[in-house]
Chains A and B, each alone.
Chain A
């Protein structure tokens, strides 16, 4: 069974940092691109970042470029999102998603990690 389990969420002050992790199991992690998608309270889904199978290619939405870093450790089957210089508008539930390398559909999702940016 495919499982994606996020951790690392919490309450953080504006301007501070937080690192999310996503532990994957039930599939060959290194064969899939991976993504982070967020959902602000009562709002819709918003793609944040993606990373290729080997980690050599990363992609970000404009609003997080230069502040967020997506990375992966294929030996540990774990995806990461380092979030720096956090802003109140980054408050959201962050989902880890498995992404088909060919068509970029997100075919498996974690349960989400809640991030609240507030003083």
Chain B
């Protein structure tokens, strides 16, 4: 299975820029997607195909990357962005998720 590695946690202040990384154990082309999960809620799609913003998602969120290295950027960060962020690949079977990056807003 394709393993997706994410850093476990980050802490930033409101107004700052934050990048969350996701590294795949093998190429996933651009079939990488990002989800936000707030405590007690279901996941929500933010970015699909590495860099495409899902409808209704603020333009503060952006994604980049291809192959094995991907990033999710939030600029500027707001207090409401406190959540765990997951990457997910759909290039290789089975689809896999990263372990999640917990973002704390100071």
Contacts and interface: CB of A to CB of B under 8 A. Distances in A.
Chain A residues touching B, majority SS: strand
B94 A59 contact: yes
Contacts, number: 54
Contact of B42 (A46, A50, A105, A109): A109
Contacts of A95: 42-43
B88 interface: yes
A103 B99 CA distance: 21
Contacts of B98: 44
A107 B52 CA distance: 12
Contact of A46 (B37, B48, B93, B97): B97
Interface residues of B, number: 23
Contacts of B99: 44
Contacts of A44: 86, 97-100
B96 interface: yes
B54 to A, nearest CB: 7
A112 B41 CA distance: 9
Interface residues of A, number: 20
Given A45-B97, A109-B43, A111-B42, A103 B88 contact: no
A46 B99 CA distance: 9
A107 B34 CA distance: 10
A47 B96 contact: yes
Nearest to B95: A47
Contacts of B100: 44-45
Interface of B: 31, 33, 35, 37, 41-45, 48-49, 54, 86, 88, 90, 93-100
